[in-house]
Amino acid sequence: MRADGRLPSELRKIIIQPDYLRSPAGSALIRCGDTWVLCTASVEEKVPPFLRDAGTGWVTAEYGMLPGSTHTRSNRGSSGRGKEIERLIGRSLRAAIDTARLGPRTITIDCDVLQADGGTRTAAITGGYVALCLAVRRLQQAGLLSADPIRHPIAAVSVGVIGGEALLDLPYEEDARAQVDMNIVMAQTQKGPAFVEVQGTGEQGTFDRRELDRLCDLAEGGIAQLFAAQSQALSEENPKGVRP
Amino acid sequence: MRADGRLPSELRKIIIQPDYLRSPAGSALIRCGDTWVLCTASVEEKVPPFLRDAGTGWVTAEYGMLPGSTHTRSNRGSSGRGKEIERLIGRSLRAAIDTARLGPRTITIDCDVLQADGGTRTAAITGGYVALCLAVRRLQQAGLLSADPIRHPIAAVSVGVIGGEALLDLPYEEDARAQVDMNIVMAQTQKGPAFVEVQGTGEQGTFDRRELDRLCDLAEGGIAQLFAAQSQALSEENPKGVRP
Amino acid sequence: MRADGRLPSELRKIIIQPDYLRSPAGSALIRCGDTWVLCTASVEEKVPPFLRDAGTGWVTAEYGMLPGSTHTRSNRGSSGRGKEIERLIGRSLRAAIDTARLGPRTITIDCDVLQADGGTRTAAITGGYVALCLAVRRLQQAGLLSADPIRHPIAAVSVGVIGGEALLDLPYEEDARAQVDMNIVMAQTQKGPAFVEVQGTGEQGTFDRRELDRLCDLAEGGIAQLFAAQSQALSEENPKGVRP
Amino acid sequence: MRADGRLPSELRKIIIQPDYLRSPAGSALIRCGDTWVLCTASVEEKVPPFLRDAGTGWVTAEYGMLPGSTHTRSNRGSSGRGKEIERLIGRSLRAAIDTARLGPRTITIDCDVLQADGGTRTAAITGGYVALCLAVRRLQQAGLLSADPIRHPIAAVSVGVIGGEALLDLPYEEDARAQVDMNIVMAQTQKGPAFVEVQGTGEQGTFDRRELDRLCDLAEGGIAQLFAAQSQALSEENPKGVRP
Amino acid sequence: MRADGRLPSELRKIIIQPDYLRSPAGSALIRCGDTWVLCTASVEEKVPPFLRDAGTGWVTAEYGMLPGSTHTRSNRGSSGRGKEIERLIGRSLRAAIDTARLGPRTITIDCDVLQADGGTRTAAITGGYVALCLAVRRLQQAGLLSADPIRHPIAAVSVGVIGGEALLDLPYEEDARAQVDMNIVMAQTQKGPAFVEVQGTGEQGTFDRRELDRLCDLAEGGIAQLFAAQSQALSEENPKGVRP
Amino acid sequence: MRADGRLPSELRKIIIQPDYLRSPAGSALIRCGDTWVLCTASVEEKVPPFLRDAGTGWVTAEYGMLPGSTHTRSNRGSSGRGKEIERLIGRSLRAAIDTARLGPRTITIDCDVLQADGGTRTAAITGGYVALCLAVRRLQQAGLLSADPIRHPIAAVSVGVIGGEALLDLPYEEDARAQVDMNIVMAQTQKGPAFVEVQGTGEQGTFDRRELDRLCDLAEGGIAQLFAAQSQALSEENPKGVRP
């Protein structure tokens, strides 16, 4: 039995509020238990230097934790951990989109953690996908895209091993004592679910092929529910589809 | 008539959610119209070098805008404007508290703007006071303070002159075209309302003593309502006074 | 009686040396008692990004304290306090000039404190105005301006309350123990003196409308003398008006 | 057939030169084809703040690329990519060692890429393990450790999918066009080889469980050879075991 | 004939104002023609980490140019050139003093260029020596030193070759077109003048032993006059030897 | 007798490996005893802002020490000492080349110290010259230069005085206790050897003209051998002259 009463294969309660903010092209507040991440998608009509004159667009991500989001106040500003995370988010969201269809523009997904209780990077990916879709929808409504650049939904979840047992969606208290900790990003492709990123770490132990398999199974089950939550959030959105 | 239909002396709708987050000692989400600021108060058992061995405590503030909070995405990281604002917030909140009664500890008020529509620094002060009070209450409940360090409530509002007319609580659209822009911080002292900070700027014009008076009047009226909103937020708070 | 023998409404001795340096377009060394600030005005034929193609110019300021300017050596480099001050100087000096008449060029006013004894920011504004005027004069002499961009003189002074008494032009020793501290920037408009900035702080107390009035009176009296000193400095300047 | 004539399951030529440098406690130059990484292990008799008074030691890593190591000169200084990599190296090497047995000291593994041709992070882990072992050996020879802190060897290799085929040990030319790219870190435990880190990315595609399995197989085969190369390098080392 | 009418072996007019500022332990404004450098000496009762518990003191220097000191405004903040210069000043001034006699304290010499016309680093050394002596005198007057730590005066001058002719004390206009440029720091030892630093550069040419000799002769003649100017400045100083 | 058995006028063993790396236009690993510096020369088709539209090229240098290069691990990142050194290297190498003949391109010489045992800056200059020549040769082979921009070889060595004796090529152990320390850069011009830079420092003493002469003699002898080593390295290079 887990401390919060969940089954090993049970997600925390998930709430995604689409178009949470007025200014950005797309935004979503995602709450996975006590982990809350505000994701915004901003569009700029320019691309990074390495894509100059390439005709294709770019999707990138930034990640931050508000100082009050953790039990002990954390300092503002970038850290090695933050850089690692925002690179993961950026790679994952680029897997969701055909940047050639975006035209020469950049969508920046900002993921700011309002409250942290484990799994902030996977929540950021799951919520960031919703913000990205909303921003793309706005570009389509404005007639700026000739074809839909979204390839397939992506979502992410953490899994881990504690005391030999594989668990889904670890809160901080579990994450801190897991022997193996894994973040899995998957896409919902036409051929079924497929991996986008698999990042497993055995900082307090090692793991074998059987455990890897079991963790992948658990993640696949959880991510199926996240795909459903994303889909609902995107359909709930303002039916008129245009914000004032 | 103002663009949002308000009277010149009318505040935007104000909502203060106390104890918005689980981790920090105190927190409040304040919404003044479309300006939303998340204020958290964190306690550390140490003081800055210049107070070493002085026996008194310290209150300081940090201020940030999330990249998606503005119409055009703003970059992360500190700016001259941000430094100016966090110094104002810090000075104002120190006026609310007798730091000698805090003991050798520091309370940091982090004010993060989730959505910006003018008046973010004054909202940060008004909401920051609530977060500060909640953190002090936790210290009292833990038996760490021998006397109540709170001196009096403080709150803040912006006022300005547009087309010769004095207006209360300017949203961005008004702020950007005001001839005179003023931020006023007041305390609710036993002798009545009194100024803590007055910062008036005539970047697009100058102003005379009569206008200064009129703006002070408007601010005093608005701040009276903010004191009421703070008081209500602080009384709404968890009656058992202890979070699980 | 004040420690330096001045009356409450008396300025410290003020000396402004125009064209103190050979290289910059304009410069002035201002000495207000033991507060000495070297102000230089440099002209660059470009504008900041936000004014690109706007046709108007810009005036900005930077502020620094030499390490040896204070009793205890201060470190080089920018601080939150410095950012706050340079924003105040920049806003104030922009109020003195019609930037549309400057053409697409930037004038940077550098204010470097050689010796600090309170009131460095107000001395910087008063001296910076002289440096700005001298730089504008050089542009006019070079035939680069079609109309005089100077709107009206501006000058600044500090005022404060100590032991219930309002005092003009506080040296460091008074500033450090003032209950209320106020920096006031005024313009000498055709309709008479008018406020450009009013920044009052009650870090060690609060203040009421009557005190605000009394401080404004004191400041207005002091600033009238500063306008005279500026005017004399600008007329003393090299009568041939062209430096070799 | 691969461009360099290797079979899909063939490693590039690997050379590990132990004790390459005179000054550090341990060092190794590892060459995997044209990827050359200089790994040094330095011992300091202190621990990071979060371990103060914990009695245990710490192992951390830093990673850098010399500007001339890449085809187009890269700038000095830290990058998001570098932070991500040094976190991976640090986690992996900590899995090789029982830090409680190190005593209150820190071993820093610096991994500097002299020449980059793909797989620099995995070469850094494989070579870093050798440098770490040599530094531990010096501590043992100096009588500073009561028990051997090394748990088991670790080594790492990259694998990827190109044109549907799984390949071992990708040079830059293959890495740049791989659909799936994976870095795998394994330990040689008493129970056999086990995963320490699995980081797979499908930036240009997704991958399924079967491909994940195939890549793990390939990596396991390659890492077995790397364990042998490490073992030989560690046995070749100065037989007298003490450098002058 | 030089542009300013001087002979090849003639110094620019030199003025040293001792105790120019009120706050620092020692200060001097040195003017060598249009090169003006404000030198201050601040004493701190601590030493850098590498001297901890060594019982000896330290002398270090910082160098900066005010933005308005040059014809084209220069940016604030440190540069490679500034670092190179402040290291030269620090080494040179340490040659003037027996740091063991200073006790565990640090004297920092800040050299800030108010106006630059060539030779700022050598003026900084010559003026910095005066500021250093004044600070040491204050320590002696306060009874904090048991023996005089000053070993011998040091001073510095630039020399160079233009059109085959060796010239003393180059202004900017000459410095910019010199084939060879040399900064020479000398001490006035009991055995006569001796070199402390010799830094010669042939960026626009090379130089031979004969030219090196000729430049050393010129410098020795100039520095003799600088020693005299330092000596006079130090004797002119407040005869009561104690500032109020 | 010196600790390593050398005569006062004897160089340490010198080995220069040309074209050490595959990627940069030119590279050389230089080993002077236990001082090892990896020098690379990278070509970019652009020039710094101050040369825009000047038609001439630029040569600049960067210098770094790997953390494990010194006995006690040194931190990554730039230092005042490093800035001073990279300016010396850059000036010296520019003396070897007619930048007008380079065309509008920049050659950056990166000098990274793998192992430090005194004389790293002079080894960097001597090895950097070889890397520069190899890069220029590649440009010539590609038909990008109309005339050979190399003016003459340059090389550098350190000399110093210990216990009254002048010594050539100081290792760290000697350098740390030298009374006088000098770095000399010379060119092999058609008229014979000539100085490019002379940097002598008497941090632990002063020196006279006779000692300066003796040190110059020693350096000239050592540099003649370095010219020979450079020449051999440049002739040993790949006889086909074109790398694949």
E164-186 pLDDT tens trace: 999 999 999 999 999 999 999 99
pLDDT mean across residues, chain A: 94
Tens-place pLDDT, residues C4-40: 999 999 999 999 999 999 999 999 999 999 999 999 9
- Quick one: what percent of chain E has pLDDT higher than 90? 91
Task: State yes or no: pLDDT of D238 exceeds 60.
Answer: no
For residue C215, the chain B residues in CB contact (below 8 A) are none
Q: Do the chains A and B touch each other, judged by at least 3 C-beta pairs below 8 angstroms?
A: yes
pLDDT given for residue F55 in this prediction: 86
Task: Find the helix packing angle between C209-236 and B209-236, rounded to 10°.
Answer: 130
Question: Residue C227 and residue C126: Cα distance in Å, rounded?
Answer: 8
For residue C112, the chain E residues in CB contact (below 8 A) are 66-67, 112
How far is CA E36 from its chain centroid?
12
Q: Is B120 on the interface with A (CB under 8 A)?
A: no
C199 with B202: Cβ contact below 8 A: no
**CB-based contacts of E192, cutoff 8 Å, min separation 6:** none
pLDDT mean across residues, chain C: 94
pLDDT given for residue F86 in this prediction: 96
φ and ψ at D122, to 5 degrees? -75, -35
SS3 state of residue C129:
helix
Counting Cβ atoms within 10 Å, is residue F144 exposed (0-12), middle (13-18) or buried (19+)?
A: middle
Other C-beta atoms within 10 Å of E230: how many? 24
Tens-place pLDDT, residues F15-29: 999 999 999 999 999
Nearest CA in chain E to F188: E206
Find the angle CA(C17)-CA(C21)-CA(C25) to the nearest 5 degrees.
100
F201 with E196: Cβ contact below 8 A: yes
How far is CA D156 from its chain centroid?
6
B38 with A114: Cβ contact below 8 A: yes
Question: What is the arithmetic mean of pLDDT over F169-186?
Answer: 96
Q: Is C74 on the interface with E (CB under 8 A)?
A: no
SS3 state of residue C44:
strand
Tens-place pLDDT, residues E122-158: 999 999 999 999 999 999 999 999 999 999 999 999 9
φ and ψ at B223, to 5 degrees? -65, -30
What one-letter code names the amino acid at C75? N
pLDDT given for residue F53 in this prediction: 87
pLDDT given for residue A189 in this prediction: 95
Task: State yes or no: pLDDT of F242 exceeds 60.
Answer: no
Distance (Å) of CA E211 to CA E160, E171, E215, F57, F223: 10, 20, 6, 29, 20
pLDDT given for residue D6 in this prediction: 97
Task: State yes or no: pLDDT of A77 exceeds 90.
Answer: no
Nearest CA in chain D to A207: D195
Largest Cα–Cα distance of chain C, in whole Å? 56
Question: Residue F152 and residue F193: Cα distance in Å, rounded?
Answer: 10
For residue A196, the chain D residues in CB contact (below 8 A) are 201-202, 206
Q: Is A224 on the interface with B (CB under 8 A)?
A: no
Tens-place pLDDT, residues E94-128: 999 999 999 999 999 999 999 999 999 999 999 99
Name residue A150's beta-bridge partners. Answer: A97
D23 with F68: Cβ contact below 8 A: yes
Q: Which of B121, B196, B206 to mutate to test the interface with C (most CBs of C within 10 A)?
A: B206
Question: Residue F198 and residue E206: Cα distance in Å, rounded?
Answer: 11
A23 with B114: Cβ contact below 8 A: no
Tens-place pLDDT, residues C61-103: 999 999 999 999 999 988 889 999 999 999 999 999 999 999 9
Tokens of E202: 């042939």
Task: State yes or no: pLDDT of A242 exceeds 50.
Answer: no
For residue B22, the chain A residues in CB contact (below 8 A) are 34, 115, 117
Question: Residue B112 and residue B67: Cα distance in Å, rounded?
Answer: 11
pLDDT given for residue A237 in this prediction: 54
Tens-place pLDDT, residues D166-189: 999 999 999 999 999 999 999 999
Task: State yes or no: pLDDT of F165 exceeds 90.
Answer: yes
> How many alpha carbons lie under 13 Å from residue E215 in its C-beta half-sphere?
32
Q: What's the count of helices (H) and strands (E) in chain F, helices before strands? A: 4, 9
Q: Is A141 on the interface with D (CB under 8 A)?
A: no
Residues E230 and E130 sit within 8 Å (Cβ to Cβ): yes
Q: What is the number of CB-based contacts under 8 A between chain E and chain F?
A: 89
Q: Is C60 on the interface with E (CB under 8 A)?
A: no
Residues F12 and F224 sit within 8 Å (Cβ to Cβ): no
Tens-place pLDDT, residues F91-120: 999 999 999 999 999 999 999 999 999 999
pLDDT given for residue D191 in this prediction: 92
Question: Residue F128 and residue C18: Cα distance in Å, rounded?
Answer: 51
Tens-place pLDDT, residues F195-214: 999 999 997 889 999 999 99
Check the CA dihedral B189-B193-B194-B196 and report its sign: positive
Question: What is the arithmetic mean of pLDDT over D51-59?
Answer: 92
DSSP string covering F85-126? HHHHHHHHHHTTB-GGGG-S-EEEEEEEEEE-SS-HHHHHHH
Question: What is the arithmetic mean of pLDDT over A131-142?
Answer: 96
Question: What is the arithmetic mean of pLDDT over A147-171?
Answer: 97
Residues D110 and D23 sit within 8 Å (Cβ to Cβ): no
**CB-based contacts of B64, cutoff 8 Å, min separation 6:** A76, B76, B78, B82, B110, B111, B112, B113
Give, as one character, the DSSP assignment of residue A117. Answer: S
Question: What is the arithmetic mean of pLDDT over D85-109?
Answer: 96
Distance (Å) of CA C142 to CA A26, C19, C24, C46, F236: 52, 17, 15, 17, 62
pLDDT given for residue B244 in this prediction: 37
SS3 state of residue A197:
strand
Rg (CA), chain F: 18
Give alpha helix (H) positions in chain D.
Answer: 80-94, 120-141, 172-175, 209-236
Q: Which of B68, B108, B112 sits opposite A42 (nearest CB)?
A: B68
Tens-place pLDDT, residues B71-89: 999 999 888 899 999 999 9
**CB-based contacts of E47, cutoff 8 Å, min separation 6:** E54, E56, E57, E58, E104, E105, E106
Question: Residue F90 and residue F93: Cα distance in Å, rounded?
Answer: 5
Task: State yes or no: pLDDT of C238 exceeds 90.
Answer: no
ipTM: 0.93
Tokens of E51: 């001297």
What one-letter code names the amino acid at A93? L
Q: How confident is the model at residue E241 (pLDDT cuts 50, 70, 90)?
A: very low
Closest Cα to residue B156, out of B27, B11, B21? B11
Q: Which of E17, E23, E59, E63 to mutate to test the interface with C (most CBs of C within 10 A)?
A: E23
For residue B105, the distance in angstroms to the closest alpha carbon of chain A comes to: 14
Task: State yes or no: pLDDT of A153 exceeds 60.
Answer: yes
Tens-place pLDDT, residues B8-36: 999 999 999 999 999 999 999 999 999 99
Question: What is the arithmetic mean of pLDDT over F56-72?
Answer: 96
For residue E143, the distance in angstroms to the closest alpha carbon of chain F comes to: 27
> How many alpha carbons lie under 13 Å from residue C197 in its C-beta half-sphere?
27
DSSP string covering D64-94? EE-GGGSSSPPPSS--HHHHHHHHHHHHHHH
Nearest CA in chain B to C191: B208
Task: State yes or no: pLDDT of A241 exceeds 50.
Answer: no
Tens-place pLDDT, residues C122-180: 999 999 999 999 999 999 999 999 999 999 999 999 999 999 999 999 999 999 999 99
Other C-beta atoms within 10 Å of D179: how many? 17
DSSP string covering C71-121? SSPPPSS--HHHHHHHHHHHHHHHTTB-GGGG-S-EEEEEEEEEE-SS-HH
Rounding to the nearest 10 degrees, give the CA dihedral for residues F67, F71, F72, F76.
-10
SS3 state of residue C126:
helix
Q: Do the chains B and C touch each other, judged by at least 3 C-beta pairs below 8 angstroms?
A: yes
A87 with D84: Cβ contact below 8 A: yes
Q: Is C23 on the interface with E (CB under 8 A)?
A: yes
pLDDT given for residue F243 in this prediction: 43
Question: What is the arithmetic mean of pLDDT over A9-28?
Answer: 96
Tens-place pLDDT, residues A172-200: 999 999 999 999 999 999 999 999 999 99
Question: Residue C72 and residue A237: Cα distance in Å, rounded?
Answer: 60
Sheet order of strands, B35-44 included: B14-18, B26-32, B35-44, B106-115, B58-65
